[in-house]
Chain A
Amino acid sequence: MPAPIRLRELIRTIRTARTQAEEREMIQKECAAIRSSFREEDNTYRCRNVAKLLYMHMLGYPAHFGQLECLKLIASQKFTDKRIGYLGAMLLLDERQDVHLLMTNCIKNDLNHSTQYVQGLALCTLGCMGSSEMCRDLAGEVEKLLKTSNSYLRKKAALCAVHVIRKVPELMEMFLPATKNLLNEKNHGVLHTSVVLLTEMCERSPDMLAHFRKVRKLSSSQLVPQLVRILKNLIMSGYSPEHDVSGISDPFLQVRILRLLRILGRNDDDSSEAMNDILAQVATNTETSKNVGNAILYETVLTIMDIKSESGLRVLAINILGRFLLNNDKNIRYVALTSLLKTVQTDHNAVQRHRSTIVDCLKDLDVSIKRRAMELSFALVNGNNVRGMMKELLYFLDSCEPEFKADCASGIFLAAEKYAPSKRWHIDTIMRVLTTAGSYVRDDAVPNLIQLITNSVEMHAYTVQRLYKAILGDYSQQPLVQVASWCIGEYGDLLVSGQCEEEEPIQVTEDEVLDILESVLISNMSASVTRGYALTAIMKLSTRFTCTVNRIKKVVSIYGSSIDVELQQRAVEYNALFKKYDHMRPALLERMPVMEKVTTNGPTEIVQTNGETEPAVLETKPPPSGLQPTSQANDLLDLLGGSDITPVIPTAPTSKPASAGGELLDLLGDLNLTGSPVSAPAPQIAQPPFLLDGLQSQPLFNDIATGIPSITAYNKNGLKIDFTFERSNTNPSITVITIQASNSTELDMTDFVFQAAVPKTFQLQLLSPSSSVIPAFNSGTITQVIKVLNPQKQQLRMRIKLTYNHKGSAMQDLAEVNNFPPQSWQ
């Protein structure tokens, strides 16, 4: 069998392949050859074959069949074999592989090998990818090597120890004694890796940290002074060609020492004090013309800000950052912004001084720099600079990438809320955000904004005018349109009346306003939610506009058959409001009262637990003024039995009719009721409310037809209920039933509640009863009025439910009333 081709040959050959397919073919061929070579247990060329395999692995081809071969190579005596074997192990044999542990013995042997380079290979491999078990097994060997005098091995052992500690933190203690003398070395490699080891220990274990901080008997072995000394030597000593980088002596070591000092000085006054001088020295003496000097300064600044440094030092640090910001090098600006972001909380005033530079960074090309500049800008906004900052931030919002817009918009809203110098400014700012980044504004912004607008009473005219103008041109940005619709609905009268103090009032007619709202309704761009806003707004205008009520009615009735269920429901209910409850319309659609602010962010406003603000209101239909239990509410929602009920706003609009229907079904089989538009104070009634509410007693229709015989609907257990009928001439579908309940027993019936349900095609309205007590011995009656709407002139049927207390026990009964005289419904 010919010798397998050499590695470089293979590489050369594969590179000549012109297509992916060609390459794959070559590789497969070679893999086959390698596989058969492995099978033959060929020792001579194993190394070569594995090397080739590793190359193919890098190109992305599978190479797992070479794993065992790597083990064999590691076990070989030849250095060449071991070198490739360990490389293969590091590439192919990570701890997820089953055969990983088989390496342990080989590594152990090699750790004790006579040749330091073999030992080095073993340490390197263990330190890069040893598993926890392996680390446990071999920690002892590593610890031994940590104490050797061979600096080549010592430095590798130190990093190996770092890896062991990362994998198995419990083993940290074991390395402690060896660390005693580590820093006495001259060798920079050992010094560097020792500092890394100490850093790792201090970061992971507060005990270790305390141990390294404390004063020990020999002052020369205190860690902090030792580190300070080493650092000083590095800075002060002359040119050392071996470790020099652009005129700075061993920057890698300097930075690591600074980082360790940071950890030691954090929250510790003594340590911090011991390092103040050296930090000042590094900060002032380091050459800043090249990146390497700035790297050291950067680390120094981080350290100064993190420890308990004196204020002069802190100012120095922030000034360095300020200088960084002016640097042409993007990397340095980036790093400066990141650090400033970390320090802005603690050293706010110092950072404020660099505000203008930071704001300039908003215009940078680099995305990461822009983002940091934006975050920093928001952190710096305060009452004094808010106008200027906002201008810059709004400009930024205009021109920034889409991924920023949402955050920027939210940030602006927050800042505006906290620091707005005037209401008008606040509203202007919000308007600007809505128009420039309207589609990126977060959902929760809309209710917050509406609340803000409502509360700025004197600005209503101005606000609605501006919003109107904004959506006139473009109604595609949903949050903007939603807010605008809501405002137009509320303050449309101000809009058409042309009264505006803040700016030139515009001439708008009612029709124009309705035009724009209808366009929103029709437009494909409008989301369902937005349409809901628009429809409600149109409805509200029916009380505020004088000439266009018919148009509004028409619109509302059209949408009664909309496919969108939400719109349909709203339209149907508004329709009903026009038809049956027209008298209630003005009251229902009244202007919103000033809302108590519920702020989640701002520390300034009173927080009311009355959280029933915007969201709830917007989702119910005509906002019942039952936001707070005011007297208004009681007028509208007088209830059965006159019980003291505070109206509850259902937060989900669908709950009303559905729950009513549901409960209805429970009780009454398949009879159903349509709901009336006013919200149902459902939970307040003891029994399920299949009649939605008792509205204020209205005078019966003046034109009633008489002469319809009355009936006894129920007569049982001494309780008798009579029905008397009246029909309206103007509206033949309405029948008014007056019930009279009497009690022939010798004891009163108390807590009497009468409930009724009718088939789907009917509508029922139950008015308040005269009282809830039926006195005994027929000495008095309870009267109650029921209005039934029977548009289809179907035969009237009714199921009634009676509940009352009698003779100390609760009574309940269900009955069906079928004996309605034909005149009552035909």
Chain B
Amino acid sequence: IHFILLFSRQGKLRLQKWYTTLPDKEKKKIIREIIQIVLSRHQKTSSFVDWKDLKLVYKRYASLYFCCAIEDQDNELLMLEVVHRYVELLDRYFGNVCELDIIFNFEKAYFILDEFIIGGEVQETSKKSAVKAIEESDMLQETVEEYMNKPAF
């Protein structure tokens, strides 16, 4: 995976994870371009788009688009499963996750993603293990209250 983007239907970025090194300006340009491409796709078309030398795999969950860019030899159908698994992890952690959860707890969305994917590759295929790791990390936080609806920050 080269990068993962989450954005709303209005085109607002909610999460960006880059597994390759690019200058900031370039990243912004790519984000704009891809948001435009994905948002203009017809509903009946496939979830895959050829973009430069990569393949974009995107899926909409409620009001959020999840978009990944993978290489030519990666399996697109499996990537749909990867995206789905991430959503499931978010759901398990937040309990019926919605876009607002991700907006207000973006750093946690990142933490969860980092327990699932490192360096662009899946590290843990068990839902249980991934969520358990995050919950235990949370316990290590010096102030526990933030995870009980009272943010520590």
Residue ranges of A at the interface with B (Cβ–Cβ < 8 Å): 6-8, 11-12, 15, 47-48, 51-52, 54-55, 58-60, 78-80, 83-84, 87, 90, 94-96, 115, 117, 120, 123-124, 127-129, 152, 155-156, 159-160, 162-163, 166, 188-189, 192-193, 196, 242-243, 245, 250-253, 255, 259, 291-292, 294-295, 298-299, 302, 330-335, 365-369
Contacts and interface: CB of A to CB of B under 8 A. Distances in A.
Given A51-B107, A60-B28, A95-B21, A159 B48 contact: no
19 contacts: A11-B104, A58-B16, A94-B18, A95-B21, A124-B114, A156-B123, A159-B123, A166-B119, A188-B124, A192-B123, A242-B128, A245-B85, A252-B122, A253-B125, A295-B80, A299-B75, A299-B78, A334-B48, A365-B45
Interface stretch (B60-68, B90-98, B140-148): B140-148
Chain A binding site: helix, strand, loop or mixed by DSSP? helix
Contacts of B19: 128-129
A7 B106 CA distance: 10
A192 B110 contact: no
A261 to B, nearest CB: 14
B36 interface: no
A251 B82 CA distance: 10
A83 B111 contact: yes
Given A54-B107, A94-B18, A252-B81, 19 more contacts: A11-B103, A51-B107, A78-B142, A83-B107, A90-B110, A94-B21, A155-B124, A159-B123, A252-B82, A252-B125, A295-B75, A298-B78, A330-B47, A331-B46, A331-B76, A332-B77, A334-B48, A365-B45, A366-B44
A366 B43 CA distance: 10
A58 B153 contact: no
Interface in B117-144: 118-119, 121-129, 133, 136-137, 140-143
Nearest to A49: B153
Contact of B151 (A6, A55, A242): A6
Contacts of A94: 18, 21
A786 B5 CA distance: 83
A196 B103 CA distance: 32
Given A123-B118, A332-B77, A335-B76, A117 B140 contact: yes
Contact of B107 (A84, A245, A252, A365): A84
B118 A124 contact: yes
Q: Which of B15, B23, B46, B152 is packed against the most chain A CB atoms within 10 Å?
A: B46
Given A84-B107, A124-B114, A291-B77, A368 B46 contact: yes
The 3 closest A-B pairs by CB, nearest first: A295-B77, A7-B153, A330-B46
Contacts of A368: 45-46, 48-50
A421 B14 CA distance: 59
A366 B46 CA distance: 7
Q: Which of B14, B49, B77, B106 is packed against the most chain A CB atoms within 10 Å?
A: B77
B119 A117 contact: no
Interface of B: 13-16, 18-19, 21, 23, 28, 42, 44-50, 73, 75-78, 80-82, 85, 103-104, 106-107, 110-111, 114, 118-119, 121-129, 133, 136-137, 140-143, 151-153
Contacts of B152: 80
B124 A189 contact: yes
Given A11-B104, A365-B45, A160 B77 contact: no
Contacts of A365: 42, 44-45
Nearest to A10: B153
B50 A243 contact: no
Given A87-B110, A295-B75, A58 B50 contact: no
Nearest to B82: A252
Contacts of B18: 94, 129
B78 A252 contact: yes
A185 to B, nearest CB: 13
Contacts of A291: 77, 80-81
Contacts of B128: 242
B125 A163 contact: no
Contacts of A242: 126-129
